[in-house]
Structure 1
Amino acid sequence: MVPSVKKKISIVIPTYNEERNIAFLIGQINEVLMQTDYNYELIFVDDGSRDNTLNELKFNSELHRNVYYIELSRNFGKDHALKAGISMAKGDVVITMDADMQHPPEMILKMLSYWENTYDIVYTYRQNANPHAKSYQKATSKMFYKGINMLSDIKLENGTADFRLMDKKVVDQLKQIDEYEIFLRGIIKWTGYKQLGIPYTPSKRHTGEASYSFFKLLKLALRSIMTFSARPLYIVSGIGLTFSALAILYIPYVLISYVTGNAVTGWASIIATIAFFGGLQLLVLGIIGTYVGKIFMQSKNRPNYIIRSTNLTLVNNDLIGV
């Protein structure tokens, strides 16, 4: 009788200034998964941390044989850090989660049970507004999901998180995607497959504060929407056509006023009209310019991230744990 081979789980965790959370998170994940019959590895991706996060990762990788780290050369952003970890994961299933303990590790067991029942992707979304978030974070999050659902063909539940499970076949497809600015929440939804969303309530951060300010969150939201959808271009085209039609309808009024001698002279209305349409034109050009800029950056074919160091080794062009 051939003994059954244990399935392997790869857990990818991006980190940025999380030095006080690393050891605690590893302990919590071990406590959850040691009671299962899976092999598992933890792949931490240090996204240009400015504190002692990298040293903590190196120290814990020496304590635990299944803990690996990837050090990026600078801060490339969370999605690229996730992509770096996912690209090196070798598990039958890959789970991504944050390092701040707001994603409850005990939910991993629930996600795995759905995976064993033939679901290819199990993602999570906040059941209610994050009780631990600041007011501007809640407002920005709400604006983001309304915007992405209105301006793209995919629909994301409000509060969709980066706490998700993906089968190996989904991960293999993600590894082939090479976009300059990648929006993983949208891309994973776009891939299709058999998906299930499950609600969760975020826990309080173990230590530290969220690093995103209001303007950073707003910038991230706008960038994600424009990265994943071309619908803003269609919207501004519609606005342009609408005002062009209104301008054409205005011509008969001007001609009749001139013939009847009722034309009203004045500069206020002219200045207001010029200012309005000038601002509209700048808005349209700005949106078009953003898309052209993205095409330009994509055409450079630069890598999405640069790895400075890792305790993974390269064998036959594949990275494996050592």
Structure 2
Amino acid sequence: MTRLATVSPCYNEEEILERSAARLTELFDELVREKKISDDSVIVFVNDGSRDRTWEIITRLHSRNPRIRGINLAHNVGHQNAIMAGMMTAKDWADAVITLDADLQDDYRTCIPQMVDDFLSGNDIVYGVKVSRKADPLLKRMSAQAFYRLQEKMGVNSIFNHADFRLMSRRALEMLAGYKERNLYLRGLIPLLGLKSATVDDHISEREAGRSKYTLHKMLGLALDGITSFSVKPIYYVIYLGFVFLLISLGIGLYVIHAFVSHTEVAGWASLILSIWLVGAMLMISIGTVGLYIAKIYEEVKHRPLYNISQILD
């Protein structure tokens, strides 16, 4: 049977940890009785440098519940890095790893059994896709939709309305370990693996205790990492804008010539305006061109694998 591990990053989550551990343990016991997962499956909590009693509670849960395991990071490294630390550790404990937030707003009771079934059917990755976000505040819903659509426009290959609720096989995790990214954006990185995948519908529920640690500042930072790590299109847009400025300056130049011919020119206006638009256009084109070369270097120094081997016949 499948050895399963769930990985939940925790930052100041003392209010919800015991409830989350109890509910996940209850689900694991059901799946063991149904013979979907093995009895040595584990629940992993990653303490991401919390300043409250999170690690103390994880330690106590571990002493009482043989399913609970904990990873204590030396300091706060952020949500994406904490997930990565948990996955890279848990892959040695399980055949498949599911990442989900400790608040359990995801529809874990329905989705996790479906993810296990899809994994047993031969899928290495199973994405939880949010089909309902009514529990989220209006601003968060609107900003999330805008972000996913912006990603599409920027050419980022990601799963629409998927966050970080997913199952990955040990093989997928071993491949992911080969990506040495410093600015992690797992939602864009994992689809690059190219392995067989499936999706399950995820209905978000309201958070029962505590508050979300994903502030607007953190969400904007994640969005910036996602776009700059997987797309150079913004640099092309700077170059295109430079050419637009150049065309405008040419139009102003024609107007200036017409003003001289018709004796309607204003003293000093032509040289000032034309120089501003022309110099601005040349600066934007130059900066964009240099930025394009830097972007190419940026992509090279990431040392991403050129390909992933899906099967070997031996």
| In the alignment, structure 1 residue 118 sits paired with structure 2 residue 119 | no
Other-structure match for 2:58: 57
Distance 2:282 2:210 in 1: 42
Cα distance change, pair 83–155 in 1 and its aligned pair in 2 (3 A): closer
Cα distance change, pair 165–235 in 1 and its aligned pair in 2 (3 A): same
Other-structure match for 2:12: 17
Q: Which has the larger share of helix? A: 2
Q: Please, which of 160, 164, 167 is the counterpart of residue 165 of structure 1?
A: 167
Q: Please tell me the residue identity of whatever aligns with 1:146.
A: R
Distance 2:197 2:27 in 1: 24
Distance 1:29 1:269 in 2: 71
**Contact 2:10/2:102 (8 A) holds in 1:** yes
Other-structure match for 1:220: 222
Structure 1: tracts of 5 or more residues without a match: 1-5, 302-322
Classify the secondary structure of the residue corresponding to 2:144: helix
Give CA-to-partner distance per residue, 1:171-223, whole Å, 9 cap, x none.
11111111110100111122221122222111221311112333332233223
Distance 1:74 1:284 in 2: 41
Instruction: Using the TM superposition, give the Cα deviation of residue 115 of structure 1 relative to its aligned residue in structure 2, in angstroms.
Output: 1.2
Q: Please, which of 126, 139, 146 is the counterpart of residue 142 of structure 2?
A: 139
Classify the secondary structure of the residue corresponding to 2:58: helix
Other-structure match for 1:97: 100
Cα distance change, pair 286–243 in 1 and its aligned pair in 2 (3 A): closer
Cα distance change, pair 279–10 in 1 and its aligned pair in 2 (3 A): farther
Indicate the larger mover: 195-204 or 264-273. 264-273
Indicate the larger mover: 249-258 or 107-116. 249-258
Distance 2:286 2:137 in 1: 33
Indicate the larger mover: 237-246 or 92-101. 237-246
Q: Please tell me the residue identity of whatever aligns with 2:122.
A: T
Q: Please tell me the residue identity of whatever aligns with 2:48.
A: D
Distance 2:284 2:209 in 1: 44
Other-structure match for 1:204: 206
Quote the sequence identity (%). Answer: 30
Cα distance change, pair 108–256 in 1 and its aligned pair in 2 (3 A): same
**Contact 1:233/1:288 (8 A) holds in 2:** no
Other-structure match for 2:239: 237
Distance 2:156 2:301 in 1: 25
Distance 1:149 1:22 in 2: 35
Instruction: Using the TM superposition, give the Cα deviation of residue 7 of structure 1 relative to its aligned residue in structure 2, in angstroms.
Output: 2.2
Cα distance change, pair 280–27 in 1 and its aligned pair in 2 (3 A): farther
Give the structure, 1 or 2, with the largest relative contact order (CA under 8 Å, sep 6 or more). 1
Cα distance change, pair 181–249 in 1 and its aligned pair in 2 (3 A): same
Other-structure match for 1:32: 27
Distance 1:113 1:243 in 2: 56
Give CA-to-partner distance per residue, 1:100-132, whole Å, 9 cap, x none.
01023212101111111112211012112x222
